[in-house]
A and B are shown apart, each in its own frame.
Chain A
Amino acid sequence: MAQVNRRQFLKISSAFLASSAAAGMGWPLISQSSDAQEVLGPDRIVPTTCEICFWRCGVDAYVRDEKVYKLAGHQHHPLSNGKLCPRGNGGHGLLYDPNRLKHPLIREVINGKEQFRKASWEEAISLIAERFQQITDQYGTESIVMFSHGFGASFFKKLFSAYGIHTFSAPSYAQCRGPRSEAFKLTFGHSIGSPEGLDIANSKYLVLLGSHLGENMHNTVVQDFSTALSRGCEVVVVDPRFSVAASKAKYWLPIKPGTDVALLRAWIHILLKEKIYDVDFIEQNAVGLDELWDGVKYATPERTYALTGVPVDQIVQVARDLGRYGSSALIHPGRHVTWYGDDTQRERAIAILNALVGNYRMPGGIIKQEKFTPIQATLNQKKFKPYKGDFPVTRNAGHTFQSKYPFASKIPANEIVNRTISADPYPIKSWFVYGTNLIQSLGDQPGTLEALRKLDFMVAVDVLPAEITGYADVVLPECTYLERYDDLDNRSYRTPYVAIRQPAVSPLYDSKPGHEIARLLSRKMGLSDLFKDEIETYLDKQLKPMGSSLDELKKAGVLKVGETKLYRQPGEVLRFKTPSGKIELASQRLEAAGFDAVPQYQPPPENPPGYFRLLYGRAPMHTFGRTANNRVLGELMPENELWVNQIAGNDMKLKHGEYVYLVNQDGVKSQTKIKIKLTQRIRPDAVYMVHGFGHTDPRLEFAYQRGVNSSDMITSLSIDPIMGGTGMNNNFVTFTRS
């Protein structure tokens, strides 16, 4: 079709040549060819699911000469709507990264020096099976744990569950969203989910605390944010830094870092005191209002100003705006929320505020999301039965992992690290690490390194030689998302969908897809019954009960239904999965466990003199350290910069653009240098950098030693006693030139 159009155009264009040339006041002396340049189109377009971050947008991979040269948002995928973030646009930079892991590696001592040697898959897989068997025989399956990030891990989880390994952890919990999940479960009885069940697009008043939407570039969220802005949504940004979102805001409140709970409490105070909350909604659906008032009685705007530095009139104005906008106001709970160790309580305060404005299941508020029902039935109910035989639990662990944090619904990764070091209550001897660079993601790097030394055996499955792979005994090269099938993506969303990840091109080098690695392992681990079906048959079998097929989904990329019942109906009786069946403004469960029923303010540690609080965040073109070596994305942002307030920087005699080392409050010096950005856009008491740079593994040739790794500087973790989250923002740095 495209070609036909082109031919037509050529004809017309020659007819117009004379006139267009005359418009330039020039005369071609010989006839000019068409004005268009030949731009080659794709041989085929393959719809699949992105994994440059974990949002899982639908993407179209444009393939020409068996090379993916372009990625675009899939038109019908509800997370992309035909659009794509910068990182997704640069996915081919991962696929063609020359530093990719190309074949299995086994650590060996050669001439007294530990080094990796190239191995065959057969050899590497056999070694893993053998070592797992030894560790199981000696310590039990509980001493093998798996860390993962990304939904490619599903096959390994099935495999290990069948083997009797039950300790699965992901840094996306205690290092990221965990406090939010637990706070919303404690308040509303369910978590906010991912993708978040928030109706940002219809919000009329949006409060962002540290959420730097636009720099934190989850495609759909930014689309919704933009829609809200276009519809005239008023935005309030609470952030020590003048973020991109702050530049769109009606109010930017450059709060003193670590005092967010105080500000939230003041807003609750004003809403209650002036009785401008949703009185009817709270009366019908919430418990603990009186205790809530008792808890925030003294959180006056005046006191709060003294704590937060936010002027009284602005505190009051925002609270009154919240009251005025009511159910169309939204206080965004954020995403990466492990900041100061008080994070569950801060998220609780946010949940309470959302409850008070009455936005629960209202346009512009918190909404209910659902899974794509047909496949849900398939997976969880009768029709899934044929597959149950595929995943038998062959042995049970002697111990199961019991977190010491009472509200940790998932296993905090840092707790595994600590127990690996202490071997208490039982030894942890082996880690299986899938697609997560624990060295950079956990904070407290010395702790992680110590734990790694305690291990008997470690396996890393990754696409790139991230730092963690350097500590593994066996490294398995997985192919990228553009070269493999994965499980179907079927999560709760406002427009329920099921989407496919399928290979756009065949795996490069000697890399293999996760499902194939898991299958090979299952054979060696004595679980031949697992993964009986080839991946395509397996996916097809899941899709058949939905009236679809793999062939159909391979072409369509995504199946979806219309928006579910997002909003509550007038008079609808709401049930919450809390002990009281209602929204718990004061939490009896927290109180019973020895915590505050109503969030109380805990002052954060103050800056040591001459030190700046280290804050970190994201840039639109990078996904933490995962993309730092991506040459396509790195072109526009090859390194991170340290934002320092212009005046504070002048006082420290820092020059814009110079490179310095950082030293933190524990005397730890950064391994690399960072470029100084002197700017008006940050408070004088804090500095800011984008997380994910400062790679120290020379195998990452592009990213090697570019910028500083914020985790290097985060040696002090403020653990959230409620769910074990690792607050990372109580670290302070200063500068040194040598």
Chain B
Amino acid sequence: MTEFVTNKINPHVLPNLHIWGWDVAIYLFLGGIAGGLLIISSAMILLQKGGIFNPSERVEEYNKQIQIASLLAPVVLGAGMFFLFLDLEFKTHVWRFYTHFNLTSPMSWGSWALLIFFPFSVFQAIVVCRFSSKPSFLFLARWEKLLEPYLNKIAAVNVHVGMGIGVYTGILLSTYYARPLWSNTVLGFVFLLSGISSAAALLLLIAPSREKQFYTKIDMYIIAAEGFATTLFILGGVTGTESMKNAMFYLIAGPYAAWFWILFVLSGLIIPLILETLEAIGKIRFSPLVPLLVLVGSISLRFIIVYAGQDVPTFA
């Protein structure tokens, strides 16, 4: 029998950490989608006509989905950044991220990476959106002309930047070994895949019906991979140190278990996977419900991990 009494009065530290809330969870969600959108759109640019396999061809009009994805990526990330900014306790010092670089700080990497993400994703959007054809955006025509020859290079960079941002949302948490639930390298991979699948789901939702099957397939494969990654994430936890094990059991069998299993695993992974498989092989008709489930599961994952990760006792 152990009685533990402390007079530590600091709020948000005891009885458990509570420093990051909904705004961070939303940032992680939006950051993941932004990364996913950039990955998908850049990959499509690279793989389609005019891409790296037949670079000599010029694409007159890019696929609408590529345009939307390219345009949304920086916008969504910007929105995510806004939520991250909301979380800062000393907002007027936000510029301090750029007066220092700390090699060992993921957050430092993350903030500098934004300096690549934003210009490059915007460059891509300028080219693929063909603003020159829209009278009110004519001022961008010069940029479009200037950047177009480099589109494949820009897209190649963007695939990696997208991956980086996607992984980063997980790494941000998983490097804190003081927080045993987060302290799990697979988390970065889970968040990356979840981000790509969310992006695919988003595109699926807005895609014209003839293209839906394409995104369904992407989403289906990514969700399958995400399921594997999640399994590894759980295994990594339960086979870890005592702290990690307790933390993982807190997630999968504790107060968050229902949320985790039902909201994320069941309705965010398993059900969409089954339905998307059936959709892909044409057994059932496309339903907007499926991508919505994926998106809800994805945002739930961020909330559950952010909150449960702080609830579990500090590394002991």
Contacts and interface: CB of A to CB of B under 8 A. Distances in A.
**Direct interface between A and B, CB < 8 A:** yes
Interface of A: 24-30, 635-637, 646, 679-681
B277 to A, nearest CB: 47
Contact of B104 (A25, A29, A30, A680): A25
Contacts of A26: 100-105, 108
Contact of B3 (A636, A637, A679): A679
A27 B100 contact: yes
B103 A29 contact: no
Given A25-B104, A28-B100, A636-B9, 19 more contacts: A24-B104, A25-B102, A25-B103, A26-B100, A26-B101, A26-B102, A26-B103, A26-B108, A27-B100, A27-B101, A28-B99, A29-B98, A29-B99, A29-B100, A29-B101, A636-B7, A679-B3, A680-B1, A681-B3
Contacts of A646: 1
A635 B108 CA distance: 37
A679 B4 CA distance: 10
B99 A30 contact: yes
Interface string B1-13: 1010001010000
27 contacts: A24-B102, A25-B102, A25-B103, A25-B104, A26-B100, A26-B101, A26-B102, A26-B103, A26-B104, A26-B105, A26-B108, A27-B100, A27-B102, A28-B99, A28-B100, A29-B98, A29-B99, A29-B100, A29-B101, A30-B99, A635-B9, A636-B7, A636-B9, A637-B7, A646-B1, A679-B3, A680-B1
A680 B5 CA distance: 13
Contacts of B108: 26
B13 to A, nearest CB: 15
Contacts of B100: 26-29
A29 B102 CA distance: 10
Main secondary structure of the interface of A (DSSP, over half): loop
Contacts of B101: 26-27, 29
Contacts of B99: 28-30
Nearest to A646: B1
B102 A680 contact: no
A681 B98 CA distance: 54
Interface string B100-124: 1111110010000000000000000
Contacts of B9: 635-636
Nearest to A656: B3
Contacts of B1: 646, 680
A690 to B, nearest CB: 14
A551 B98 CA distance: 58
Contacts of A637: 7
A26 B107 CA distance: 12
A646 B1 CA distance: 11
Interface in B114-171: none
Given A29-B98, A636-B9, A680 B3 contact: yes
Nearest to B1: A680
A168 B243 CA distance: 64
A681 B2 CA distance: 11
Contacts of B3: 679-681
Q: Name the 6 nearest CB pairs between A and B, nearest first.
A: A26-B102, A25-B103, A25-B104, A636-B7, A30-B99, A28-B100
A29 B96 CA distance: 10
A635 to B, nearest CB: 7
B146 to A, nearest CB: 29
Contacts of A24: 102, 104
Contacts of B105: 26
A316 B98 CA distance: 73
Contacts of A25: 102-104
A667 B253 CA distance: 48
Nearest to B105: A26
A635 B100 CA distance: 38
Nearest to B98: A29
Contacts of B103: 25-26
A637 B98 CA distance: 43
Nearest to A27: B101
A24 B98 CA distance: 16
A25 B105 CA distance: 9
Nearest to B3: A679
Most buried by B among A26, A636, A637: A26
Interface string B174-208: 00000000000000000000000000000000000
A637 B7 CA distance: 8
Nearest to B104: A25
A650 to B, nearest CB: 12
Contacts of B98: 29
Nearest to B7: A636
Interface string B80-106: 000000000000000000111111110
B201 to A, nearest CB: 38
Contacts of A635: 9
A30 B99 CA distance: 6
B107 to A, nearest CB: 12
Contacts of A27: 100-102
B114 to A, nearest CB: 16
